[in-house]
Structure 1
Amino acid sequence: MTLPHGFVVQLDRRTRVVDGGRSLLGGFPTRLVRLTERARPLVTGRRVVVKDAASALLADRLLETGLAHPVTAELPPHPDPRWTVVVPVRDRPRELDRLLTSLGTAHPVIVVDDASYEPAAVGAVAARHGALLVPLDVNVGPAAARNAGLRLVRTPYVAFVDSDVVLPATTIPTLLGHFADPKVAMAVPRIAGLRSEAAPGWLTRYEEARSSLDLGAEPAQVRPGSPVSWASTTCVLARVDALAEGIGGFDDGMRVGEDVDLCWRLVARGLRVRYDPSVTAEHEHRARLGEWFTRKAFYGTGAHPLAVRHPEAIAPVVLAPWSAALIVALLAQRRWSVPAAGALCAVTTVRIARKLDRADHPLKLAARLTANGAVGALSQAGSLLTRHWWPAAAAGCLVSRRVRRAVAVAAVTDIALEYRKNHGHLDPVRFAVARRLDDLAYGAGVWYSAAKGHSLAALRPRVRG
């Protein structure tokens, strides 16, 4: 299976063309890809257009390494644009009516009622919109409810859409274009906040800027270890055969984290999950503090079940040995800390430069890579202190001035950087409060799941060469 003629990929914004066009630097993990003489002219204007076997092979390689992404606007039309929408729901008749109105009647819709307290209201909404209703007698959770709907799908593609979503008309047709790549098993849009006539409160504005479901403005291949390591099934479009025959759909035993598990199982089979932020699904974010905080903690409780199923992918941070040593040196806060960190970076730069010996400026490239690695490592360390490990960090603050200093620096730096990226029209104080509550809730959920599972697997950093 190869990419079809006319398929266009464009280099990722962070991919650098170096050595006079002979090499590409980027991807996740970062790598230097040297282009053969035949491949070099195929990259024109940071694009590759599939015209023959050579260009198809190059485009596929660039997609697999994260060096490039499909150009959404130029994806070939799909020869079989048939899909069924599956909506798992428990009560929420108002939200369900709003969603089904946005979907229209052009494609089949299956509503799986997961043992609603008022099933008649859900059934009336489904009937009014001509949707097939599948009532469940026992509440089984969203994963099993989606599977119940999946078993009834007779089209090549299935869209899973949560009831608290409004779907623009262009979202699913655009996602369908990604399946021109035969390796794509699932495509997901960006999850945006649902606009309402009422003025948004401070928590709503924070969610619009920093929602856990919003994976950002950059396209990506979803896979562990990349900037987009998982995708929410709030709204997804998937190949039915890849789900039903390949991996058996969602894991019925998971009530949280089932979306992460699904992504990682697809990737483990050599399939691709594409994230396309050019289209959106509008989600009604929680606006009440108690519900919002509880939901964030609930997300964290999926950590241990995922650690059992995917021990290599769940680590809160992934570090190279040199970057782990860099963090330890700086956290020690001794007189030798900064000189030791500088020496580690210098040695790492030299080692990387030796691997780039055929590049035009190996030392310059190596210095840039080392600097990026150091910044990334420090960012992960800050996330450990303020999010994943905050209960341990809080205990350390009671007995150690150095821990207090490290946590304070990490918290303030995190808020400053995130506020600069997107503050959601919030003042710094309320943004800082929401940011810290977000981390406290998620971290509490992670530790609760670890304690319940009698395992620290979800909290252990991973150090790899």
Structure 2
Amino acid sequence: MAQQSAHDLTGPVPDALTPAAAPAAPQRRLPDGFAVRLDPRTRSRDDGAALLGGSPLRLLRLSPRARQLLAPGRLVVRDATTAALAARLLDAGLGHPDLPAAAAPHDVTVVIPVKDRPAGLGRLLSALRADPATRHLPVIVVDDGSTVPVPTAHGVRVLRFDRSRGPAAARNAGLRAAPTPFVAFLDSDCVPRPGWLQRLRPHLDDPRLAVVAPRIVALPDAGRGWFTPYEAAVSALDMGAHPAAVRPGSAVSYVPSAALLARRAALGAPFDEDMPVAEDVDLIWRLTAAGWRVRYEPGAAVAHEHPGTTREWLRRRAFYGTGAALLAARHGGAVAPLVMAPETALAWGLALSGRRAGRVAAAGVLAVTVARLASRLAAPGERPPAGFAALLVTRGVGASGRALARSVTRHHWPLALSAALTSRRARRWVLGVATADAVLAWWPHRSRVGPVRFAVARRLEDLAYGAGLWRGASRARDPRALLPTRPPRLTPARPVGPQPDRWWKRR
């Protein structure tokens, strides 16, 4: 077909499409045959009467019937009761879908936004043609004002903007033109691994699932900069090896738009075209606020061409940092760089005062915290689990300590640098925090990258991101992207599971 403008193919496109809230998720249960398996990191307590896990951390008490259904650690939906229990596990982050790979899907359109990247686009199209599962799928390439227009190709529909409108507008144009109920967004610097779509598509059998994302891994031999091993190990696009429910405030709070499989009906309010960066985070957070589920599936992988030069790499990190202010204007405290309970912040402040009395007072604050948490965790008629509460508080203090270190070296490094320039004691603290942060982050990846290279790259990346963060907040005249917030409280224990008269009995 002849190449035309996006206006010709999709109808009038406004100069700025700013979406409102996403459409509400349907109140439909999981289908029969849908299976959920407990997360390996979920811990069973009280002889299987309670489950501890998820992100944020939750404690669920199970009814005897629910314990029987979950005895093998896997639940298959067979009726409304098991569907409700499975949904509860998914939403709590205690379980994940356990689904076989699908056959080659026929209800997916691939949308590729591109600007001035002909080699990458050709590589991606070749990969799609070589994969039997995607060979016959409709493909829409949205040319976002490339200097040399994207040529037409067999089996590929090309939409073109006469001027660059940005990736959000390009994806939206492809979304509107897609003829299928599901759309796979792939950036032109990506190459999907075989089987990626067959692993993602079964997740959308959940009628409340809006988006599922694969793991983004480094494209082999695509970058040869000194930082390449570091970027391959801890790329900002790689959400890790564990499946997860995606939502603000969790371990996986967003997924990048470099590769997504989405339900068109859920994207009635699509990517925000006023956002040149972080439009993917904004979309995910609007979807979860409307009741949709979003999932991360690392069993599917898409390779990504990471930046090839130090300048390009650091410029991209700074660009990512500017997106925090845009998110703060739309989502408030969800973008806070540091999340810490007031009592934990007080304990750390006292402990870091450098005085023995401060350390004793910090221990007292934590002891009170343990006592209060034990009381909240106690099941009816049982003694408060003081030892268990102490373990949870210790874990929380450790995690908050690492988050505080990240704040010092990444989000708030201008403040830390100012303190270090005026105080010898502050210099020692900042140097010690930066060293500990680098060592702890390097250790899980020690077989892939050396410690010195990792530490130097981590500090440079943090400096670039933090500079972008402060620049974005200053430009927006909005400090919310720099301010800490408090976490939600641990969900109180309550029975969950089939009951004689109802599946979930509230306390």
CA contact (8 A) 2:209 2:294 kept: yes
Post-superposition offset of 1:360: 7.4
In structure 2, what is the equivalent of residue 235 of structure 1? Answer: 259
In structure 2, what is the equivalent of residue 286 of structure 1? Answer: 307
CA contact (8 A) 1:209 1:423 kept: no
Post-superposition offset of 1:340: 2.1
CA distances 1:349-382 after superposition (whole Å, capped 9, x unpaired)? 1111111222677112101110111011111110
1:335 pairs with 2:347: no
CA contact (8 A) 1:206 1:423 kept: no
Structure 2 gaps, min length 5 = 1-27, 130-134, 490-507
Alignment of 1:113-128 (within 5 A): 113-119=143-149, 122-123=150-151, 127-128=152-153
The aligned amino acid for 1:230 is: Y
CA–CA distance in structure 1, aligned partners of residues 429 and 83 of structure 2: 49
1:216 pairs with 2:240: yes
Q: 1:79 to 1:456 in 2, by over 3 A?
A: same
CA contact (8 A) 1:209 1:422 kept: yes
In structure 1, what is the equivalent of residue 426 of structure 2? Answer: 403
Post-superposition offset of 1:14: 2.1
CA–CA distance in structure 2, aligned partners of residues 232 and 80 of structure 1: 23
Post-superposition offset of 1:175: 0.6
CA–CA distance in structure 2, aligned partners of residues 402 and 268 of structure 1: 44
In structure 2, what is the equivalent of residue 249 of structure 1? Answer: 270
CA contact (8 A) 1:304 1:458 kept: yes
1:378 pairs with 2:401: yes
Q: Which moved more, 1:186-195 or 1:25-34?
A: 25-34
Q: Which moved more, 1:92-101 or 1:12-21?
A: 12-21
Could you tell me the TM-score, scaled by structure 2's length?
0.86
Post-superposition offset of 1:333: 2.5
CA distances 1:276-311 after superposition (whole Å, capped 9, x unpaired)? 001100001112100001001010010111100010
In structure 2, what is the equivalent of residue 10 of structure 1? Answer: 37
In structure 1, what is the equivalent of residue 18 of structure 2? Answer: none
2:46 to 7, 14, 19: 19
CA contact (8 A) 2:212 2:262 kept: yes
Post-superposition offset of 1:46: 1.8
Instruction: Name the SS of the counterpart of 1:421 in structure 2.
Output: helix
CA contact (8 A) 1:209 1:424 kept: no
CA–CA distance in structure 2, aligned partners of residues 423 and 98 of structure 1: 32
Structure 1 gaps, min length 5 = none
In structure 1, what is the equivalent of residue 8 of structure 2? Answer: none
Post-superposition offset of 1:42: 0.7
Alignment of 1:22-421 (within 5 A): 22-73=49-100, 77=102, 81-104=106-129, 105-119=135-149, 122-123=150-151, 127-196=152-221, 200-243=224-267, 245=268, 248-358=269-379, 362-421=385-444
CA contact (8 A) 1:333 1:402 kept: no
The CA RMSD over aligned residues, in Å, is 1.7
Post-superposition offset of 1:80: 7.1
Q: Which moved more, 1:162-171 or 1:42-51?
A: 42-51
The aligned amino acid for 2:273 is: D
CA–CA distance in structure 2, aligned partners of residues 48 and 24 of structure 1: 14
Q: Which moved more, 1:18-27 or 1:322-331?
A: 322-331
CA–CA distance in structure 1, aligned partners of residues 483 and 138 of structure 2: 45
Q: 1:444 to 1:263 in 2, by over 3 A?
A: same
CA contact (8 A) 2:183 2:261 kept: yes
Aligned residues: 454
CA–CA distance in structure 2, aligned partners of residues 5 and 239 of structure 1: 20
Q: Which moved more, 1:166-175 or 1:431-440?
A: 166-175
Could you tell me the TM-score, scaled by structure 1's length?
0.94
Q: Which moved more, 1:393-402 or 1:176-185?
A: 393-402
Greater RCO between the two (CA within 8 Å, min separation 6)?
A: 2
CA distances 1:98-118 after superposition (whole Å, capped 9, x unpaired)? 001111231011111111112
Post-superposition offset of 1:334: 2.5
In structure 1, what is the equivalent of residue 14 of structure 2? Answer: none
Q: Percent identity?
A: 48
The aligned amino acid for 1:172 is: L
Instruction: Name the SS of the counterpart of 2:215 in structure 1.
Output: strand
Post-superposition offset of 1:422: 1.3
The aligned amino acid for 2:93 is: G
Instruction: Name the SS of the counterpart of 1:310 in structure 2.
Output: helix
CA–CA distance in structure 2, aligned partners of residues 360 and 430 of structure 1: 51
CA–CA distance in structure 2, aligned partners of residues 302 and 423 of structure 1: 31
CA–CA distance in structure 1, aligned partners of residues 237 and 154 of structure 2: 28
CA–CA distance in structure 1, aligned partners of residues 433 and 34 of structure 2: 44
